Amino acid sequence: DIQLTQSPSFLSASVGDRVTITCRASQGISSYLAWYQQKPGKAPKLLIYAASTLQSGVPSRFSGSGSGTEFTLTISSLQPEDFATYYCQQLNSFGGGTKVEIK
């Protein structure tokens, strides 16, 4: 089975900061990677699929890149509503999550 490793697992940032989260796969997965945002008590929300395609309705400050085994989610300018936990996913595997908190 493919393992996904996210880093960091926790980050503290300020409004307006540029934030980058990395997801590494244990073997090549082409571009079949998705990113989700989850807020406490809520279901996850799809942000990015196919590694770099922005889901409809998601703000353009979110972007995804990468292929093969290394992928990144970038938030260009962190907004108050972006403080949440982020997960990457490939088919039957999720990363461990990255919690983004206010500095």
Partner 1 sequence: EVQLVESGGGLVKPGGSLRLSCAASGFTFSSYSMNWVRQAPGKGLEWVSSISSSSSYIYYADSVKGRFTISRDNAKNSLYLQMNSLRAEDTAVYYCARGLTLGGVDPWGQGTLVTVSS
On the 0-12 / 13-18 / 19+ scale of CB atoms within 10 A, 51 is buried
Tell whether residue 27 is a contact of partner 1 (CB under 8 A): no
Using CB under 8 A, pick the residue from 2, 46, 54, 84 that binds partner 1: 46
Element (H, E) at 3: none
Task: Show the site string, 83-102: x = touches partner 1 by CB under 8 A, - = not.
Answer: ----x-xxxxxxxxx-----
Among 14, 16, 27, 43, binds partner 1 (CB under 8 A): 43
Task: Please say whether the beta carbons of 42 and 26 come within 8 A.
Answer: no
| Nearest distance from C-beta of residue 53 to partner 1, angstroms | 7
Cα distance between the two ends of the chain: 36
By C-beta, is 76 or 93 nearer to partner 1? 93
Q: Would you say 13 or 58 has its CB closer to partner 1?
A: 58
Query: Are the C-beta atoms of residues 93 and 1 closer than 8 Å to each other?
Result: yes
Secondary structure letter of residue 55 according to DSSP: P
Binding site for partner 1 (CB under 8 A): 1, 31-34, 36, 38, 43-46, 48-50, 53, 55, 87, 89-97
